[in-house]
Amino acid sequence: MSVSSPVTCVVVMGVSGVGKSTTAELLAERLGWPMAEADGFHPQPNIDKMSASIALTDADRIPWLHAIRDWISERAAAGESVVVTCSALKRTYRDVLRQADARVRFVYLHTTTGVVQRRIAGRSGHFMPPALLGSQFADLEALESDEDGVVVDPRASPGEVAETALVLLGLASPAPPDPPSPPAPPLPPTLLTSRRTTGA
């Protein structure tokens, strides 16, 4: 990890369905940084296993995490900061991502199983067996105090969640300056006259 690196990678982490993609898209848009989804970095053997509903082991995840880490480093070498979604449930997974040659910072979307269950139920095009969500929470190791990152409650609107993350990370753009006030309208002629006549 290179804390002094001027190039940053924001990793949006948390269990499946908590809102990582939704939040990361908004962060990338507001920061003007490219975004990648961790799912896109799985090697073929992992894709084959997942297609066959076989759970990935920690050993399976190593080449996947290395691929994400290397992509972060490649973009950083090109001077580009990025946003990545990655469940990054265990500290050892985050340790691999931190090996990237960039300042790797985490946005940990942290909430209850109930909130996530409702989100998954309301999401079209995805099916997730409840047991799988249980195993995600069982694996989840919260962001620790010595890790570079912030914890955000994802229950607010997507825009508010992204804004809170940016503020906590110190990456929110400063509010634009107030526009110059318009010139005062000319005084009506009657008022000008009355001032002249009173001599006040």
Ligand X SMILES: Nc1ncnc2c1ncn2[C@@H]1O[C@H](COP(=O)(O)OP(=O)(O)OP(=O)(O)O)[C@@H](O)[C@H]1O
Query: What is the smallest separation between the CB atom of 85 and ligand X, expressed in angstroms?
Result: 6
Query: What is the smallest separation between the CB atom of 105 and ligand X, expressed in angstroms?
Result: 18
Closest by CA to 25, choosing from 81, 82, 67, is 82
Q: Is 123 in the site for ligand X (CB under 6 A)?
A: yes
Considering only 9, 13, 19, 149, the residue that binds ligand X (CB under 6 A) is: 19
Q: How far apart are CA 114 and CA 121, in angstroms?
A: 11
Q: Which is nearer to Mg ion, 155 or 195 (CB)?
A: 155
Binding residues for ligand X restricted to 83-102, rule: CB under 6 A: 85
CA 51 to chain centre: 27
CA distances from 27 to 15, 20, 100, 160 (A): 18, 10, 20, 11
Closest by CA to 88, choosing from 9, 168, 161, 7, is 9
Query: What is the smallest separation between the CB atom of 46 and ligand X, expressed in angstroms?
Result: 15
Q: Which does 13 bind (CB under 5 to 8 A by kind): ligand X, Mg ion, none?
A: none
Query: What is the smallest separation between the CB atom of 18 and ligand X, expressed in angstroms?
Result: 5
Q: How far apart are CA 59 and CA 197, in angstroms?
A: 93
Q: Which does 158 bind (CB under 5 to 8 A by kind): Mg ion, ligand X, none?
A: ligand X
Considering only 9, 11, 17, 88, the residue that binds ligand X (CB under 6 A) is: 17
Binding residues for Mg ion restricted to 10-69, rule: CB under 5 A: 20-21
CA distances from 22 to 4, 18, 33, 75, 162 (A): 29, 9, 15, 22, 9
